[in-house]
Structure 1
Amino acid sequence: MDINELVRDNIKKLRPYSTARDEFKGQASVFLDANENSYGSPLPANYNRYPDPLQLDLKDAISKIKGVPIENTFLGNGSDEAIDLLFRAFCNPGKDNVIILPPTYGMYEVSANINDVEIRKVNLLPNYQLDLEKIAESIDKNTKIIFICSPNNPTGNSINRTDIETILANFNGIVVIDEAYINYAKQKTFIQELTEYVNLVILQTFSKAWGLAALRLGMAFSSTKVIDVLNKIKPPYNINQATQDLAFEALKNIAQVNEWIKESVAERAQLSAALSALNIVKKVYPSDANFILVEVTEATKIYDTLVEEGIIVRDRSKVTLCEGCLRITVGTKEENEKLLTVLRNF
């Protein structure tokens, strides 16, 4: 597959913005090129200089953990930036289309609407797996991207690996696998397949297992041809220096992150069992994420009761195939017990 054939013509011709730091090579001690404040910044750490536009030191640290070369890594202002850039790189407004698989993460549809790209929805099967036959029927020459969330949000399940491989092997467009919750899953990441599929894009994030949601830092891994396009069209300094510094420090604490993952998975099992025992709960869906989809008797009333008690969950009762369901994040043991106490008294 030639990725260049998928890129929009105007993006092929685009001359990207050249930052001041792009225009010289080697070391320097006096920077008088970018009109920064040369005196410093009114903070304990100096942030008066523009950050590395390609975040090379941070990507190098990530590569040591993920096993993905720097040139196959893109960092965005959350995974949402990578999603938006994929639309802008590969989808012609008013002409091309993408396929999403409801129920799924809502930003795929939002980004499509912002970029004036047709959305083709192929609902998951009742067991929340892919309907390969209908996906195949929905593809035409203008279908540029298929978004697959695995583990899926809001259902929590992993998508069958062989089904994803079937799409990768047969679709001549970009296949995005959103692995925001992969750290909590038994299923392996698709990172090892990057060398096999030039059209594969894997999204991961620092917002979930890494506990850095406030930093807004997402990762995209793909072939160099796709990464080069994303780097070409991104804002020049899309990841600020404070975020780079804090993420770099966080990567040194992987043992703590792994311990939190183990605790969260254990709490997920205990919370699922406790919820299943409640008479207001119709079904607790199996989860490979750090949340649980729960079908309840009176979703709106239960949601409102929880809000009154200062407990916020996500009401998914009006979402396709999630009728009557609440999505509940796995909290700490104390938070989960408070939730269960309110539900038992409902």
Structure 2
Amino acid sequence: MIIDINNLLRDNIKKLTPYSSARDEFKGEASVLLDANENAFGSPLPHPYNRYPDPLQQQLKSKISAIKGVPTNHIFLGNGSDEAIDLLFRAFCRPGIDNVLLVPPTYGMYEVSANINDVAIKKVNLTTDFQLNLDAMAEAIDEYTKLIFICSPNNPTGNSIHRKDIETVIAHFNGLVVIDEAYINFAKQKSFIQELTEYNNLVVLQTLSKAWGLAALRIGMAFSSAEIIQVFNKIKPPYNINEASQQLALEALEKVDQVNAWIKETVAERDQLADKLLALSFVQLVYPSDANFILVRVTEPKVIYQYLVDRGIIVRDRSSVIRCEGCLRITIGTPEENRQLLEALTDYWV
């Protein structure tokens, strides 16, 4: 499906003249840089952090391009995926007029960003097995619906959304479909990145925070059509990814084998932890997971949560979230951390 992206853009964004930084205006090599009002004497650190970073992160994008198989002009890098989410609202949703469709339970930042940008929210709950309710979604969409957010594997439930259902949404929706794949490295399902050539209304979000272990660097990735990436670059802050994060990410991306080994171990630990939790009498259900966490239904979620907190073990209480009543979300830790968790929970029931 090919749609006219310009028909979705806010008028003020179409007319916007983006900020032009010193590093945007000058291309090439130079030995004397007197254009950006930087400290010419250097920085008090070993690396020359006195210079502004590449505003388009070309070196880092080239490395990601080689790993993901996506051309650099189809890649946007943000200060976490949250920046890309916010830019989608600011570029395509008119405050007080347009709306977005969410499918709870899901990642909470979509709703927060909508509220910050004064964009109305329509909600269609996932089914009881945490899949899309396609009929209800079709009924909820109107002429002002600009974005649909689908998290797969989903947070906080951990399951992947049926691929054919997502394809149905993308093929029949005249707005943008945003697939958040923060946990895709832990799943058997293939990324929707491979569908970018088929749909210019598709935006795929990924991150270096989860499987890559770089949460502190705050680097999120958005993959989409070149025209949507151009919109992101037009309205983002000029230097949204700092030099330290860019350089450390480049170093980390050389260590694919280490990350793959961690992914394999995490999946194995996830399956073992699920089995052992099911042996505890107060555990009612462990939902299937394609992520690096599991959703566990227990008899007394708030009591058990506080019990673990008192022992220095922090999980996430999701018992107040729609469709997650009675549930705790547990991130998969190291073998030793998982052992401590199981030991504490075993003692809880004694």
Category of TM-score, reference length = shorter chain: over 0.9
Cα deviation, 1:39-78, whole Å, max 9, x if unaligned, reads 0000111100000000000000000000010000000000
1:250 is matched with 252
Match for 2:280 among 268, 278, 281?
A: 278
Answer yes or no: is 1:145 the counterpart of 2:147. yes
1:38 is matched with 40
Looking at structure 1, the residues matched to 26 and 51 of structure 2 have their Cα atoms a distance apart, in angstroms, of: 16
Q: Name the aligned partner's letter for residue 128 of structure 2.
A: P
The structure 1 segments of at least 4 consecutive aligned residues displaced by more than 4 Å after TM superposition are: none
Match for 1:265 among 259, 264, 267?
A: 267
1:205 is matched with 207
The 3-state SS of whatever aligns with 2:171 is helix
1:97 is matched with 99
Looking at structure 2, the residues matched to 286 and 175 of structure 1 have their Cα atoms a distance apart, in angstroms, of: 25
1:65 is matched with 67
The 3-state SS of whatever aligns with 2:35 is coil
Q: Name the aligned partner's letter for residue 23 of structure 1.
A: E
Q: Name the aligned partner's letter for residue 231 of structure 1.
A: N
2:78 is matched with 76
Q: CA deviation at 1:26?
A: 2.4
Greater shift, 116-125 or 21-30, is seen at 21-30
Taking the TM superposition and a 5 Å limit, the aligned residue runs for 1:1-346 are 1-346=3-348
Looking at structure 1, the residues matched to 23 and 120 of structure 2 have their Cα atoms a distance apart, in angstroms, of: 38
* Percent of residue pairs identical: 73
Q: CA deviation at 1:24?
A: 2.5
Greater shift, 16-25 or 196-205, is seen at 16-25
Looking at structure 1, the residues matched to 275 and 214 of structure 2 have their Cα atoms a distance apart, in angstroms, of: 29
Looking at structure 2, the residues matched to 39 and 280 of structure 1 have their Cα atoms a distance apart, in angstroms, of: 63
Looking at structure 1, the residues matched to 6 and 41 of structure 2 have their Cα atoms a distance apart, in angstroms, of: 45
The 3-state SS of whatever aligns with 1:164 is helix
TM-score (structure 1 length as normaliser): 1.00
Cα deviation, 1:171-207, whole Å, max 9, x if unaligned, reads 0000000000000000000011000000000000000
Looking at structure 1, the residues matched to 122 and 208 of structure 2 have their Cα atoms a distance apart, in angstroms, of: 29
Q: Name the aligned partner's letter for residue 99 of structure 1.
A: L
**Could you say what the CA RMSD is over the residues aligned between the two structures, in angstroms?**
0.5
The 3-state SS of whatever aligns with 1:252 is coil
The 3-state SS of whatever aligns with 1:282 is strand
Looking at structure 2, the residues matched to 127 and 149 of structure 1 have their Cα atoms a distance apart, in angstroms, of: 15
Q: Name the aligned partner's letter for residue 105 of structure 1.
A: Y
The 3-state SS of whatever aligns with 2:38 is coil
Looking at structure 2, the residues matched to 64 and 164 of structure 1 have their Cα atoms a distance apart, in angstroms, of: 26
Cα deviation, 1:261-312, whole Å, max 9, x if unaligned, reads 0000000000000001100100000000000000000000000000000000
Q: Name the aligned partner's letter for residue 295 of structure 1.
A: R
Q: Name the aligned partner's letter for residue 294 of structure 1.
A: V
Q: CA deviation at 1:25?
A: 2.8
Looking at structure 2, the residues matched to 160 and 203 of structure 1 have their Cα atoms a distance apart, in angstroms, of: 17
Count of aligned residue pairs for this structure pair: 346
Q: Name the aligned partner's letter for residue 81 of structure 1.
A: E
TM-score (structure 2 length as normaliser): 0.98
Q: CA deviation at 1:23?
A: 1.5
Q: CA deviation at 1:22?
A: 1.5
Looking at structure 2, the residues matched to 29 and 170 of structure 1 have their Cα atoms a distance apart, in angstroms, of: 53
Looking at structure 1, the residues matched to 82 and 220 of structure 2 have their Cα atoms a distance apart, in angstroms, of: 8
Q: Name the aligned partner's letter for residue 175 of structure 2.
A: G
Q: CA deviation at 1:28?
A: 1.1
The 3-state SS of whatever aligns with 1:74 is strand
Q: CA deviation at 1:345?
A: 1.2
